[in-house]
Structure 1
Amino acid sequence: MVQLPQRFHDWFATKGWAVHPHQQAMLDRAADPALLLIAPTGGGKTLAGFLPTLADLATSPHDGIHTLYISPLKALAADIKRNLSTPIAEMGLDIRVEDRTGDTPASRKRRQRADPPHILLTTPESLALLTSFDDAPRMFRGLKRVIVDEIHALAESKRGDQLFLALARLQTLCPDMKRVGLSATVEDPAAIAHLLARHPDPCDILLADPGPAPDIQMLTTDEAPPWSGSGGKYAIPAVLEEIKKHKTTLIFHNTRAQAELYFHNIWLANEDSLPIGIHHGSLDKVQREKVEQAMVRGDLRAIVCTGSLDLGIDWGDVDLVIQIGAPKNVKRLVQRIGRANHRYNAPSKALLVPANRFEVVECVAALDAVREGQLDGEPRSPGPRDVLCQHILITACAGPFDADTLFAEIKSVGAYSALSRADFDDCLDFCATGGYALRAYDQWKRLLQRPDGTWQLRDPRATQNIRMNIGTIQDTDTLKVRMKRARGGKPLGEIEESFAATLTPGDTFLIGGQIVRYEGLREMTVEVSRDKGKKPKIATFMGTKFATSTQLSERILHKFQQDTWPDLPDHTAEWLALQRKVSRLPEPGRLLIESFPHDGRAHTAVYGFAGRNAMQTLGLLLTKRMEELGLNPLGFLATDYAILIWGLDPVTDPAPLFDIDALRDGLDKWLAGNAVMKRTFRASATIAGLIQRNTPQQKKSGRQATFSSDILYDTLHKYDPDHVMMHITREEAMKGLIDFSRIEDMVARVGGRIDLIAHDRVTPLAAPLFLEVGRVPVKGMAEEKLLAEEAARLMATAGLPPITS
């Protein structure tokens, strides 16, 4: 057993702490080439990761960077810096800790390269940038350890792919470098270990005591959830009562727009003037920091938030988490639950608030999964090639490189371990020439081969452009929002350009919890004034709309097969029982389709349970097939679990609609000139370096970049359809917004077992889908009343009772 220096024992004693078993294990196994620690929130996993570093630096002088800490959030790096500074100062250790992110001043960045600290805290993008400098070998020459925090969050994104490529570069520079991964929630530890390790070397997994099970349940409300919607407004009185009972409550939402609307509504109902804040990624940095500081001080009783507070920042005395809306993903729910109660061996407390009647079933299924310790996650695809192209250019910035050596280095990355030499060479040729159709243009000839066979930048001046465009996070086209003043007023945040285009002077919308009035657009800035008198539109913000995971969808289907549902509220159990009585409930391994007339149109409900993105794509493909078969569809809508299609003719034989070859053919035709492909091409082309959003002169506006990418896409589609960027675009589209793999999985799982049931009226399960059709921003009480009356009429048609408590 490795012994800590005495001053460490003394420091622990003054705090009344003891070294946890997993912290001691990290000390004992500090020499392991790679080690993944999975420990509960509040279990001291960050300190466990740093203890070997602190102990080594306390006893052995070190010149330069000893340990590199990488986090997915700039705020998390800053938080770790604060938390490390306390023990270092109190133990009198001669250890320098600094962070380096996009917010770090340029002067400090220059000094860090010349005189690096012992511990450098950074992000994937900043690390990639550091590896692009020719002095990287000198800066990292003494590097001993790399700690990747919240590794589960990075492993699911292109940021993680870029990070692991950068770690491979560091491993070449520092062959003895040790890798440590830290996480609280991992559904497949072996898969994360594969990504962390240097392939094919193994990575052991250290599992800490998971601690007590979380105290998690559904919030009891006087009013039953509505049949549709995603806001959870009905539960606000009950939520306010919970806020009063606790010190600090985090109220999570799945989208930024939902968070803004909920904050507005809860503030209107906040008769006791409880201090409540809002936090999400589209708010101005200054406003976010004010909320964060108020949280740390304990000044706020509740914070309405999104994924911006998902990860492991210790925000003080949070003792309750409320999730508004179904979590869509069990792993995300567990991560959010862990924000409550940052103490070891104390249960986290959380409440779920389903936004509508169907989400009650999803929430109960998620609760079952949490209690059973079953997390979910979609299988990882091979490493994306647009990130690989960027990595090749980053490597070239640092100096000449040998292609064989670089290929071997890239193959040591788990996500790229199956990369073929042909695919690597295609990416290298793209970086060197732009590819067949673009060879005539000098701007895309970025590499040349030297007489000795190595590769280098054709023009060394290109390094600035490449470095300015490093990163995989794709900004949605956004515009800054400021209060209108003579010289520009207080910044509030940003909204999507597409939303801003719908505004006319006098329109009101929500941002940062405030209702503001649109005054006009000046120099790409949305100018607003305060306006408390009108009901606002809901601004749209960049951010992912989550799809229900495959595993959670399966749980819902299995729950439908229970004889009774004692764990569901009476109103929901009665709804499902009525569906079973008049029709059938969807089953695992089968596909239920219902057809019925309504308002003079033939309607078809397809219960595919494949997640929102896949169901949206399936709706497009099915209506296309229906057109080909002469069924005259007029429109459709999609949710996570169903598609509702309306048209002139009923479906009588569904088998031809679900022929997988026909669906693939329809997908290919639909994708050929589709906006989804152009949007995906733009994102991948930007990452790969074909399009530069940032230049030394100026940053391109979204419209300029879209115009350039559309021309490029049309050119390649017409003259070079086999161009590597076209292949990359298809790969990315298929696993992104289109999510065709889940359609393929659904068709394979069903295997032709399709149950078409014809009815003479709307069924109970289909009835809520009709409310999705007309769901629009509500402007006043008259519209709300009409919407409620329409809901009541629909439910009565389906034989359902009115909503009661």
Structure 2
Amino acid sequence: MQAPDPIAVPPEITAWFDARGWRVRRHQAEMLAASDAGKHALLVADTGAGKTLAGFMPTLADFTPTRLGDAKPPEGLHTLYVSPLKALAHDVQRNLVTPVEEMGLPLRIETRSGDTPSDRKRRQRTKPPHVLLTTPESLSLLLSYPESLDLFAGLKRIVIDEVHAFATGKRGDLLALALSRLQAIAPDMQRVALSATLADPESFREWLAPWGEIDTVELVIGEEGAEPQVEILLPDEERVPWGGHAGRWAIPQLYEEIRKNRTTLVFTNTRFLAEFIFQLLWDINDDNLPIGVHHGSLSKEARRKVEGAMARGELRALVATASLDLGVDWGDIDCVVQMGAPKGSSRLLQRIGRANHRLDQPSRAILVPGNRFEFLEATAAKDAVDEGQRDGEDFRPGGLDVLAQHVMACACAAPFDEKELLAEVRSSLSYAWVDEAVWQRVLGFVENGGYSLRAYDKFKRIVRDRNGVWRLSHPEHAARHRLNAGIIVDSEMLTVRFRNGRQLGKVEERFAASLSNGDTFFFSGMSLEVEQVKDMDVIVRAAKQSATIPSYGGQRLPLTTHLAERVREMLVDRASWSRFPDDVREWLEVQDWRSQMPGPGQLLVESFPHANKHYSVYYTFEGWNANQSLGMLITRRMEDRGLVPGGFVANDYSLAVWGLREVEDPAPLLSPDILSHEFIEWVQESHLLRRAFREVAVIAGLVERQHPGKRKTGKQVTFSTDLIYDVLRKYEPDHVLLEAAWADARARLTDVGRLANLLERSAEQLVHVKLDRVSPLAVPVMTMIGREAMPQGAVDDELLLEAETLAGEAMRVDVPLDLEGD
């Protein structure tokens, strides 16, 4: 794209930048120029580059006196801003209000999410602000109202922030369908997407564009910023741990870092670890520093309180999950700390960018590995960041359960013609693959639940008239849809509250079920004692001490293929080992001497006896989901072959399987035909397909979680979905939701794509090494045996003795070993 004409930037905007000692960045002006040329735009710019202002530059310009002239400001909804997080929308509102007020622009800005009061939501549908900041789910709900056709008729622009965070998943499917619907309502609407971490911008251009119109999307690359400064924290005197993920060894060093800085942001990969690390920091907080905790299960009030305190610079440290790693602009953060492995270079870059949040100042980050493999992963991620390499998930076909939900939303808004709606649906990359046959199956499901369920009136939601127009079968279905629509299907949650009604947040039903009166636990930064578990509430009071921390069954962050390959290359690059700490280098050198390294393209399998059992460790580097699936399949084949399997454990890097009889040759256990026979049989028999069906049934609206004034428990939802699942498996195995569940089970729950690559690799380059005892590389996964069911973090103490025993056996050399090669 040619350099934009600086005259195109209204003087009011230029003057505002000048008054702050800033300048309009090239990419900010280019985003305005793309809008003026009538094009959609994708901006890829470093964190701190002013992406949000760049995305809103055309909107701000539309409301300047220079461009308005004698005309009145536009009325109605002008710009939609969509973010993956409610916290990000509120942060953007704070940061947008300042330039709008200081420039004196006649621009009203509001947010809309699940936390927005219902009376404000009603008013927004009839008297909307000029700019509405929302999430994909709230936008989809807005589109389900009859007023939406008038509300969005004059929409000029939609800005999608942090597009990488959700475009490749089901929330992206929902947003893609919303984009198609909005474009149909407002044909001249411009689409804008922003991101700092896209590995493949072209694929995101294709997703953003109306199908087949990628040339209408201008790719804008931001000005480069200062290189981030990333360091890996190591123990002062001790060795890098063999096992564990919490990184609790680093707490004293982390506390000293917090004391030195104005503000430190500490990221964890799970909600449990956020509470666990916060508690450990608070236990040694002799200076009584203000330290906060933030994650998605805390109450709205608790999250807002912490966000406000951070914005005002009142906290010295904040421990958080991914609930805060996207775009939140707190410029006074000196340092970002990542507890545990980052799992991907793009995710790490995103989190690093929270420090300083200025383009011309380097962001500082510290990585805290929990164990030795995590040290290698942290090193690989640091190298990737230093080289500017990014990673991310690939796009896949849109989910049919999401499409069914969208069809119902459209019916709630107004009657629709099926051919017109199909053309609209197919105008997105996610659903361009939908043909007439698939479309009729989806319509049939929304109409009456499908062949096996059509006799039940509760599933009859839409009807077609003589003119081929579809409409709701009864108005009450609209209210039921809006009460239950959504994409995120968490485990059922119970509210934690004091007896006076003050809410602290939510814990999972399975954790609450384990509590009795008088039990104590740590949550929301407080020690709590259970007074009563009643209905959907855990009623608590303050306690002096606590014993447990709630654990959550959320998805594990997947190790990206890109980072896994870097770790594998590192293992065989012996010259690079010299930069590692002595104990890590010794670990690898003894492994190399006693066994072999798993090189790129290979699958190394080690077999050895231990504790009167026979063990095999498969070094896959394909992530926990794929390794867990492989473990299930291997143990099934071992059982068929009389090898008496005892069990398995998995992490992101390897899989350990044990039994009473030795595996002489692992190759037959790994033949690729395992995916065409045993895999299908296993998935159908296991809980995986039922779990996937439960989620798609809720998303598609087949099973409702909420009724007016009442919410089903997780057990009730599970009972309903299991009952329907069994009926469909028996009488309608080709039901559209079973197909959707299969797609989820294959892609998300089992990571079948990576599993297939692994099996293909094993057929070509399987290396089997027989040992007389456990190898050094096997110790991290072996320490997990018997402890995987325990909450993360709590296992660390339990691991120490077992790890030292295994390590002593693994690292013992029976002859003098010359590690220097002299």
Q: TM-score, normalised to structure 2's length?
A: 0.94
Query: Is 2:742 the partner of 1:730?
Result: yes
Correspondence list, 1:583-602, <5 A = 583-602=595-614
Match of 1:756 among 768, 772, 778: 768
Relative to structure 1, the CA distance from residue 220 to residue 603 in structure 2 (aligned partners, 3 Å threshold; closer, same or farther) is: closer
Q: Which residue of 2 aligns with 1:44?
A: 50
Residues 253, 306 of structure 1: 8 Å contact kept = yes
CA distance in 1, matches of 2:799, 2:578: 31
After superposition, where does 1:199-210 map in structure 2 within 5 Å?
199-202=211-214, 203-210=217-224
Q: Secondary structure at the match of 2:347?
A: helix
Are 2:224 and 2:359, in contact at CA under 8 Å, matched by a contact in 1?
no
Of 731, 747, 758, 1:746 maps to: 758
User: In the TM superposition, what whole-angstrom CA distance separates every residue of 1:251-295 from its partner, at most 9, and x where no partner exists?
Assistant: 111111111111111211222222211111111221111111111
Structure 1, unaligned stretches of length 5 or more?
A: none
- d(CA) in 1 for partners of 2:480, 2:672: 44
- Of residues 554, 560, 569 in structure 2, which corresponds to 1:558? 569
Q: Name the CA shift for 1:84/1:788 in 2 (closer, same or farther; >3 Å).
A: closer
Change (3 A) 1:225 1:527: farther
Distance apart, 1:681 and its partner CA: 0.6
Aligned counterparts of 2:319 and 2:632: Cα–Cα separation in 1: 35
**2: CA distance, partners of 1:428 / 1:365:** 48
Matching of residues 359-374 of structure 1 within 5 Å? 359-374=374-389
1:283 to 280, 298, 310: 298
* 1:294-693 correspondence runs (5 A): 294-483=309-498, 485=499, 488-534=500-546, 536-564=547-575, 565-693=577-705
User: How far did 1:683 drift?
Assistant: 0.7
Between the aligned partners of 1:304 and 1:152, the Cα distance in structure 2 is 23
Tell me, what secondary structure is at the counterpart of 1:772?
coil
Of 311-320 and 622-631, deviating more is 311-320
Within 2, Cα distance between the matches of 1:9 and 1:524?
54
CA RMSD of aligned residues (A): 2.0
Please state if 1:212 is matched with 2:223.
no
User: What's the secondary structure of 2:605's corresponding residue?
Assistant: strand
8 Å CA contact 2:587–2:811 kept in 1: the answer is no
Question: Counterpart in 2 of 1:24?
Answer: 29
Residue aligned with 2:529, SS:
strand
The answer (yes or no) to whether the contact 1:583–1:757 under 8 Å persists in 2 is yes
Q: Name the CA shift for 1:670/1:778 in 2 (closer, same or farther; >3 Å).
A: closer
Runs of 4+ in 1 over 6 A off after TM superposition: 776-779, 782-786
Which residue number in structure 1 is paired with residue 16 of structure 2?
11
Report the secondary structure of 1:103's partner residue.
coil
Shift of 1:542: 4.8
Amino acid at match of 1:537: T
Aligned mates of 1:724, 1:447 — CA distance in 2: 17
Residue 107 (structure 1) aligns with? 119
Cα deviation per residue 1:666-724 (whole Å; 9 max; x = unaligned)? 12212223222111111101111111112224222211111111111111111111111
Q: By how many angstroms is 1:788 displaced?
A: 3.2
- What is the Cα deviation at residue 137 of structure 1? 2.0
Aligned residues: 796
1:656 shift after superposition: 1.1
Contact 1:764 1:800 in 2 (8 A): no
Q: Deviation of residue 563 (structure 1)?
A: 2.1
CA distance in 2 between counterparts of 1:112 and 1:491 reads: 27
Q: Is the 8 A contact 2:445 2:736 kept in 1?
A: yes
Confirm or deny: 8 A CA contact 2:206 2:429 kept in the other structure. yes
Partner of 2:725: 713
Shift of 1:783: 10
Verify the 8 A CA contact 2:87 2:323 in the aligned structure 1: no
Normalised by the size of structure 1, how large is the TM-score? 0.96
Counterparts of residues 131-142 of structure 1 (less than 5 Å)? 131-142=143-154
Q: Is the 8 A contact 2:462 2:473 kept in 1?
A: yes
Partner of 2:820: none
Instruction: Return the alpha-carbon distance in structure 2 between the equivalents of residues 709 and 511 of structure 1.
Output: 31
Provide the C-alpha distance between the structure 2 equivalents of 1:400 and 1:429, rounded to a whole number of angstroms.
16
User: Contact (CA 8 Å) 2:263, 2:317: kept in 1 or not?
Assistant: yes
Q: Give the direction of change, closer, same or farther, for the CA distance of 1:800–1:162 in structure 2 (3 Å limit).
A: farther
Measured after TM superposition, the shift of residue 36 of structure 1 is 0.1
For residues 125 and 736 of structure 1, the distance between their equivalents in structure 2, rounded to whole angstroms, comes to 21
Asked whether the equivalents of residues 482 and 525 of structure 1 are also in contact (C-alpha less than 8 Å), the reply is yes
Provide Cα deviations, 1:294-336, integer angstroms capped at 9, x if missing partner: 1111111111111011111113411100101011111111100
Deviation at 1:577, TM superposition (A): 0.7
Aligned to 2:75: 63
Summarize the Cα distance change of 1:12–1:279 in structure 2 as closer, same or farther, 3 Å threshold.
Answer: same
Task: Please show how residues 158-177 of structure 1 align to structure 2 within 5 Å.
Answer: 158-177=170-189
State the shift of 1:544 in Å: 2.4
Residue number in structure 1 paired with 2:157: 145
- Percent identity of equivalent pairs: 48
Seen in structure 2, the aligned counterparts of structure 1 residues 154 and 793 have a Cα distance that, compared at 3 Å, is: closer
Give 1:193 shift. 1.2
SS at match of 1:250: strand
Aligned CA distance change for structure 1 residues 784 and 731 (closer, same or farther; 3 Å):
closer
- For 2:746, what is the secondary structure of its paired residue? helix
Paired residue type of 1:544: Q
Structure 2 residues without counterparts, runs of 5 or longer = 814-822
Residues 1:149 and 1:639: Cα distance change in structure 2 (over 3 Å): same
User: CA 1:462 to 1:562, structure 2 compared with 1: closer, same or farther past 3 Å?
Assistant: same
Measured in 1, the distance between the counterparts of 2:733 and 2:739 equals 8
Deviation of 1:6 (Å): 2.9
Distance in 2, matches of 1:33 and 1:574, equals: 57
Alpha-carbon distance in 2 for matches of 1:174, 1:789: 65
2:120 equivalent to 1:120:
no
Q: CA deviation at 1:530?
A: 2.9
Partner amino acid, structure 2, of 1:70: V
Contact 2:671 2:763 in 1 (8 A): no
CA distance in 2: counterparts of 1:578 and 1:615, whole angstroms: 25
Contact 1:778 1:784 in 2 (8 A): no
Match of 2:235 in 1: 221
- Alpha-carbon deviation of 1:778? 9.1
1:92 equivalent to 2:104? Answer: yes
Counterparts of 2:128 and 2:515, CA distance in 1: 49
In 1, are the aligned partners of 2:490 and 2:554 still within 8 Å (CA)?
Answer: no
Residue in structure 1 matched with residue 817 of structure 2 by the alignment: none
> Greater shift after overlay, 551-560 or 102-111?
102-111
1:293 maps to amino acid: G
Whether contact under 8 Å (2:346, 2:391) holds in the other structure is: yes
The secondary structure found in structure 2 opposite 1:355 is coil
